Amino acid sequence: MKKTFFILFGLIHLNAMSQDLFIETFLEKWENSKIYLIQLAEAMPETQYAFKPTEKQRTFTAQLIHIKENIDWLSNTYFGSGDLQKEKMGPTPTKQQLIEAMKKSFDGSANLIANLAPEKLAEKVDFFAGEKTKMQIMNLMQDHVAHHRGQLVVYLKLNQIEPPQYTGW
């Protein structure tokens, strides 16, 4: 009986440590993701923020706004109301306004996640694509940023601008 208790206790403790580690590693990667995205935004001259490769693509500005608004939506909806901007940005913010808004969104979402109780990671939430855990929402946030950030790298290259060196960890 004693042995079973210690095994069960050990598994519970290991799970809690794993959840803490997930949040910790997410936050490290999230910060690096923010830094890299800001470097991309800074690399594009403001005169090229209206650039879009084809008529069906978003402009460079619209891609950044989309990333920012998705961070705000997912963070506010699934991790608390926090201090993230709930209002949508206009279609033509300045480069600096957009960069500052991006920083605020990344930092606000990081703050919400840093204060998330690790046991909440397994909590299921309603999502338009079906029920997901909060951990899955965090993974979605990373994937969404990476997807659109990759498009921005292409936008820079199409304008003969060398993107900053990638940092993904």
Q: Are 81 and 91 in contact (CB under 8 A)?
A: no
Is residue 84 included in any domain, yes or no? yes
Pairing state between β 124-125 and 132-133: antiparallel
Query: Over the stretch 24-54, which tens digit does the pLDDT of each residue have?
Result: 999 999 999 999 999 999 999 999 999 999 9
147 marked as binding residue: no
Is residue 49 included in any domain, yes or no? yes
Mean pLDDT of the residues in the chain: 88
- Is residue 67's pLDDT more than 90? yes
Instruction: For residue 52, give the 3-state DSSP assignment.
Output: coil
Domain that holds residue 41: 2-158
Is residue 101 included in any domain, yes or no? yes
Give kind and range of the element (H or E) at residue 150: helix 134-158
66 marked as binding residue: yes
Is residue 165 included in any domain, yes or no? no
Give the pLDDT band of residue 124 (cuts 50, 70, 90).
very high
Quote the pTM value: 0.85
User: Per the structure, how many domains does the chain have?
Assistant: 1
Report how far residue 25's alpha carbon sits from residue 126's, in angstroms, rounded to the nearest whole number. 25
Which is more confident, 90 or 35?
A: 35
Q: Any idea what the CATH number is for the domain that residue 115 is in? A: 1.20.120.450
Give the pLDDT band of residue 14 (cuts 50, 70, 90).
very low
For residue 76, give the amino acid letter: N
